[in-house]
Structure 1
């Protein structure tokens, strides 16, 4: 299998024929793609299957059919699951942590759970908290932190784990404009493979080198932001072309 960007030979994550059913509802329908280095945006309306797909790639729910590989390991294979899960991290839209632990304790513990030696986990936690701008709050109990700070703690735990594939579900939701700008600036510096689920086209335009558009569980588009913008109707204003291109793709899918 080759992605639209032709990067499977250097892929960090490969999704093949993924199907996810909940009773009579098919949330994902034969989804396939490969991710190399760089930032890819996963876009779609609410209910399109974005969170379901991220959860499947992260190893959180076995798909009805299909396969997921991370760093060459089958995420749901009996013998390969553990090494696969060490190489992928999901930052959920609404992270939940024990409120009585400090930011450093949570980040260091989760880094250790991913396989970092205990001696390295603490330093990795300090480095990650500094990267997300929380070095001054590393000893703060999580119950005392704002929602925006908790989102950054969630990102820090992923960074500390030194993963190959980072998955972020709506990373700017709930952030004020200053916090959002800081988050975007940080994400632009991340190495490796990053898949961001978002419905905020401003985030997509700022960050993505590639866009995968989901609609009703199907991949309706996989390509560059400029190629998606080119799908916008004639006369669309420049700042709305990306959104209009996405809407056009969805309408084409319904017509088909």
Structure 2
């Protein structure tokens, strides 16, 4: 039997063989001889640990690569949302500003542009009857009949008018130009002082202011209470010096005046019997 000391000495020798430094072969590889099972276990453990580390690294990298795009997409969507909200806010502000400018412009236009009155229908054209002459919205008739002053006024009234009332030099000249020239062509018109001497009035009751009397007229030579217009062959005579007074019972032609489209009255004769 082997003693305990011998057995211990044997184990020590084996351990020394296990830990001695191996030598390389001629091809640079570790020699197979002298490699113990403990060495292989250590190498296996190291390789296994290295594989685990590599596997964990791969998993971590893959997980990071998967998470990162998702996070980036979320950030990108958030940024797009913020950008859209900002654009909408700017657009709303622009619309509000344009609306205010529109209201201000409409207000300025309403102040500067006066409200137009409703358009009236076009009045019918002024038409005078046959043989009547239009001047300043009145129609005038130069009668060829001869009557007293009062019957001349009655005839004109029967036609819807009255003996002519003359207020302006233009009206006087217009009528005088319608009269024919002659030795002493005379025409009644609408003035008289039959109520009060030298207080001449128109047939509508208004007083005569001024007038177009000939020099020295009116003179009331023989109870002359009615007025007439004279146009002779003397070319030096002028329209604004052509009024005279005469007795109202003289038979003279006359000048009627009426509003356009006025209808004649009925029931009174219109011929020369007046």
Q: Identify the TM-score tier after normalising by the shorter chain.
A: under 0.3
* TM-score with structure 1 setting the length: 0.27
Higher-Rg structure is 2
Higher strand share: 1
TM-score by length of 2: 0.25
